[in-house]
Amino acid sequence: MDRPKITTFGVPGTSGGCASSFSVDGHEVLVSGGSTDSALRLANELADSTTALSDARDSAEALAHDLSVINGELRATKALLPPAEPQMLMGTGYARQLPDGVLWLLGTRETGWAAFGYRVGDWDNLFRRFGVRVTGHGADEHGEYWTVENARTP
């Protein structure tokens, strides 16, 4: 922001009718009373502070945007880290892959895609989140499937 232009009015006299003013963001700031020099000095200080505040606000907005971007990158990076303890399955799970490559971990094979399940995204995510090992592979009327079981005992 450019520094506002200051206008000084009045003639020094016994009535104290001296004033300095400037406009900022559609508002008129008027400093009156005292001497012409003190009103001008205060008006200059106020004008400088409005400029500094505007610059600080612009910097804060830029920093907030940068922080938002960094937080998004941090969330994405944290999602890649394996959990401290992977989830345990309560039995055999069945992994099925959609044509677009998205992997689902389903509770039963017989009901196909109608089974309860989790969208795990890809094989890497399945192994990291659930700590499983592949124990079999097959195909049925619903498509290909892979049986998975806990890699460690509970």
Whether 18 has a pLDDT exceeding 80, the answer reads no
pLDDT one-digit tens code per residue, 51-106: 888 889 999 999 999 999 999 999 999 887 877 888 888 889 999 999 998 999 99
Which residues does residue 118 pair with via DSSP β-bridges, in sequence order? 105
pLDDT of residue 1 exceeding 80, the answer is no
Strand partners, 145: 138
Reduced 3-state DSSP string for 87-132: CCCCCCEEEEECCCCCEEEECCCCCHHHCCEEEEECHHHHHHHHCE
Q: Parse the chain into domains and list their residue ranges.
A: 7-80, 93-150
The residue behind tokens 């940068």 is 66
Dist CA 5 CA 44 (whole Å): 9
What average pLDDT does the chain have?
86
Q: What is the pLDDT of residue 14?
A: 53
Q: What is the DSSP letter of 25?
A: T
